[in-house]
Structures are given as structure tokens and as C-alpha cells.
Amino acid sequence: MKVSAIRQALLLIALAFVPAIGEAIYFRDRVSWRSPDRSSEMVNLDQAQSWGANAIWVDARPDNEFEQGHVPGAIPLNEDRWNELLPTLLAQWSLEKKIVVYCSSQSCNASREVARRLRDEAGLKEVFVLQGGWETWLKSKR
Amino acid sequence: MNTNLLIGIVALTALAQEARSELKWEQTSVDLKPALGDKQAVAHFKYENVGNTPIHFESVHASCGCTTAQTQNEQVAPGQKGEITATFNIGGRTGTQVKTVTVRTDDPNPAHSTTVLTLKAVITPLLEIQPTLVYWQNGEEPKPKIITAKANKDAAIKKLDVVSSVPDFTAKVDAGSAPNEFKISVQPRDTTKAVYATLTIKPDSPANTGNTFAVAARVMPPAPTSGTAITPSTKATVSTVRHDLVTPAPTAASPRQ
Amino acid sequence: MDLIVGGIFIYAGVIKAVAPLRFAIDIDNYKMLPWAIGVRLAFYLPWLELVCGIALILRFFYRGGLLILTALTFIFIAASIIAKVRGLDITCGCFGHTSKNWSFTAHLALDFAILITLIALWVSSRAQQREL
């Protein structure tokens, strides 16, 4: 078969598109296509606690859950009362602080949404989501 | 066609009719466009029992606390119709919100016993404000910073009133570069002492029922020196922690190879 | 020799194809392409490597595969050097994270060896073609 190397190359390039597109479709909802993924926003409990006084803990859960128990010193900030609660956090924030947002694994995506809004709307940079959420913190207190 | 075959067919059809219970949903996914100022978005999921045995709802459970779901009747007789009403409390949420309600019934067929109902609501706020925080470092030149407010085009907002909670900040509103856009220019009087202010933004709009929006303006305190300072040891922890963040995160993110 | 080189690229391709997001982050670390392009490449390139690796082993579209792999390796070496010169800390994405503990020079040496082998294969296949 006297197909030139270039033509072969082009065919291979085209061939590789098939599985690539298949995979992209499979992952389409799991990948951020336009801007870098925020998977580096997660932080585990030990790391968050090592930040000590430089960490501001933010509870993204509904009001009643916050009242039943929360990380000492945590500021409530949930989407139900976003506009009311946000100023309190903004008043306490400063550049060297790291924000750690947590919610319960039963709540919907709340902590990631709150973290995203803090980054996108308030322009805050060091915003993290606690891996394992409220449950992990509770377990560590046993 | 002989009688045996006929009997066989009748028998099979009879068997097929046996204990068939099924809840048929008119829609399992509803798109909502709540109007400006709505506090809730309500979706109706209609069902009908097309089977021949009654169906009992075991649980109707929403994915989060902001959504409540209720069924009209606990028990649905064959042929009976009803609906599950899902009420989504919008709160301070914006953009495309997707909430689900998981319904479990006593349908013996596991493929039908659990249904996930999806409510999708697109919420456009009266005003989209960005950023919601402007700040100046201590000693930074007190130049004005701009907050952009995009008004919902259905709201017919002609102007915004911005009031600062403390006199240390002044705010000026100008028309923005696009229709329905406003530019709020915020300026501190001086940046030598730490100040916190809430700027209350009031849009004038017939749709507006006393809704105000707030942004924060701050002059930051001077960088900490001692006390709550970032002592060298804390700095070291901070930098090693950042490094740790980079490596474990990927291994957590990538599937076991 | 085809088997070894083909095998290397199949291995490299598979390792990256199963973790496209990780690969996208690695590409982004080079800071040479915008994320939107990098992420699409992250889905595509591993399959290209795999397909070409298979091409080498099965001797199907052999020279085309050789051409592509040589180009890829060359570009990759260039990108690594540029990144190093810019002072970026790159964990090589070529073999996924199995090779993350190797030093930069070890990586570079391996890549050069691969490049030279590919060129050698190319030259010998041309020679073979001429004999036909």
C-alpha cells in the first residue's frame, strides 16, 4: 500500500478523534471546559486546622442545622439568606485569612456553591472547601 | 387457530395483567422561570396509577433543605391521579438551580420503585452586582474602585441610590457601558485607618418591593506585625501546607490507576 | 524495537487516557496554552499516542504513526525545556504520576532516547522502502 507517511499520519490523527470524543462526552459534566478546575479547592481537616487563627470557618448549612451545632467561631453563610449573612463574613475577612467552607454531606452541594460565590462575586482568593464536611469535624471531636 | 392456542394466549394475557402496579409520571423534569421578586418556585409533578394495585408512597425526600415536597395522597388507587408539589425556596440563590426530589413507593418492581423528580429553575436577580466587596490596603492610594451592577432588563430600573453606612466612603453612580448597566464608583476618604462600611444599593423600579442590595467596602487594617502575626513558623506551615495541597489533591482526584 | 517503542506509547497513552483531568492539569502547568485548549488536548493526545503506538506494533500505517510520535516527542521535549528555563515546577505528565519521582534530567534523557529511537526507526523504514 503506497500511502504516503503524511496521509497515514492524517488518518491516524482522524482515527484518534473517535475515542477521544467518546471520552469527552463521557466526562462532559465532570470537567470544566472553559476555566481551570477547582478541584484544588478541597482541603482536609488537618490542613485546615493547622492554619489556626488564620482560618475563617464558614458554615454553609441551613440556619436550623447551624443552630444545632457548628464549628466554634464559624460564621453562618447559606444561600437562603445570602445577602443578609454575607456582610458579616466580609467584615471579618482580611488578606492573610483562609476561608474554610463546610457543609454536611446530606446538604446539597452547598459548600462548593458558597465557595464559588465567594470567589466569583466577592473576589476572595483563598477560599477552600472542607473535605468530608461537618461529619468529619464531628468525628474528630470523639 | 385451535382452541389450545387461544386458551394459551388468553392465559398469558391474564398472567401479564397479574399484579402490575405502576405509577406513570407526566413529567419527571420541570423547568421553571420564576418571576422577579418571587420567593418560591413551585413545580407540579403529576402522576397516575396505571396499574391494577394500589401504590403507597414510602418516602418523598428533597435533595436539600431549601426544597419541600408534598404528595396529594399517601395512597394511590388504581386509576387514580394526583401530583407531588415541590416548593423551592429561592432565598439568595441566583443562576440555574437544579433540585431533586426522590420518591420511593412500594412498587414491587425495583425499576419503578424509586423515581427522581428534577426541578430546574433559572433565577435572574433584580441586580447582579460584581464585586460584592471592594477594599483598599492600609496606606494604599485612595483611588476610586468600580462596582458594576447589571439590572434585570424586565425590571426597568432607571437609577440606583447608594448610601454608605459610614461617612468614610463616598459612592457615585454612573451609567455603565451597556444598557441596564450601572457603574458605582466607591472611594475612601483616607486609607490610614481600618474602616468597614456597608453600601446599601436601592434600585428604583416598579417591580422592586423594598429590595435593597448590599456590598461591603473596607479599608484593611495594617498588616499584622506581632500578636496575631504570621510568625515565621506559621509562614513555613502555610507554605508547606500549600505544597501538600498540590500533591494529595491530584491523587485524590485521579482514579486509581 | 517497534514493540518496545510502540509499547511505551501505548502505556503512556493508556495512563493518560484514564485520567484526562489530571493530564489537563499537567498540561496547564506548562502555562503555554489556555486552559480551554489544554483540556481538549488532554482528552485527545493520549488516544493519539495509543493509536500510533498500536500502529507501530501492528505495522499498520507504520510510517504515519512514526511521524506523529516523533513530532509529539520533539514538541514535548521542547516544552519541557522551556518550562524548566522559565522556572516552572513541572511534574512530567508523560507517564502520568508513576514517574513523578524521577528527576528532570532522567526524564529528559529518556525522552531523548525515545526521540532518537523513533528517528532511527524512521530512517530504517525509509531504507526498507527504497529496497522494495
Residue A126 sits in a domain whose CATH number is 3.40.250.10
The residue among C100 and B205 whose pLDDT is bigger is B205
CA angle B177, B179, B185 (to 5 degrees): 45
Q: Cβ of A123 under 8 Å from any chain B Cβ?
A: yes
Mean pLDDT of chain C: 82
Q: CB distance B257–C25 less than 8 Å?
A: no
Determine the structural domain holding residue A97 and report its residue range. 38-140
Same fold, B20-123 and B127-219: yes
Nearest Cα of chain B lies from the Cα of A50 at a distance, in angstroms, of: 8
Could you read off the pLDDT of B129-184 as tens digits, one per residue?
989 999 999 888 999 999 999 988 887 888 888 999 999 999 999 988 888 899 99
User: Within this chain, do residues A71 and A114 fall inside the same structural domain, yes or no?
Assistant: yes
Q: Establish how many alpha carbons lie within 13 A of residue B17's alpha carbon, considering only the half-sphere containing its beta carbon.
A: 8
Residue B33 · residue B122 · CB < 8 Å: yes
ipTM of this complex: 0.77
Q: How far, in Å, CA of C63 to CA of C43, rounded? A: 24
Residues A12, C66: C-beta atoms closer than 8 Å: no
Instruction: Provide the whole-model pTM.
Output: 0.60
Task: Work out how many domains chain A is built from and give that number.
Answer: 2
Q: Specify the CATH number of the domain B127-219.
A: 2.60.40.10
Average pLDDT of span B75-95: 90
Task: Say whether both A2 and A50 belong to one domain.
Answer: no
**C82-122 per-position pLDDT tens digit:** 887 776 666 555 554 444 445 677 778 888 888 998 888 88
For chain C, percent of residues with pLDDT exceeding 90: 17
Is domain B20-123 annotated with CATH 2.60.40.10? Answer: yes
Is C93 in CB contact (< 8 Å) with chain A? Answer: no
Half-sphere exposure of A120 (CA within 13 A, CB side): 12
Q: Is C31 on the interface with B (CB under 8 A)?
A: no
CB contact set of B4 (below 8 Å; sequence gap of 6+): none
Is the pLDDT at A101 greater than 90? The verdict is: yes
User: H-type helices in B132-221, by residue range?
Assistant: none
The residue extents of the domains of chain C are: 2-131
β-pairing, B55-62 vs B75-76, is antiparallel
pLDDT for residue B208 is more than 80: no
> Looking at CA atoms only, how far is residue C2 from chain B in angstroms?
25
Q: Does residue C50 have a pLDDT over 90?
A: yes
Contacts of C65 (CB under 8 A, 6+ apart): A8, A9, A12, C51, C52, C53, C54, C55, C56
pLDDT at B169: 93
Instruction: Indicate if the pLDDT at residue B42 is higher than 90.
Output: yes
Kindly state whether B239 is in contact with chain A, defined as any CB-CB distance less than 8 angstroms.
no
Q: How far is B254 from chain C (nearest CA, A)?
A: 6
Residues 102-131 of B with CB under 8 A from A: 129-131
Specify the range with the lowest mean pLDDT, choosing from A19-23, A55-59, A138-142. A138-142
From chain A, the residues in CB contact with B246 under 8 A are: 40
Q: Are residues A20 and A73 in the same domain?
A: no
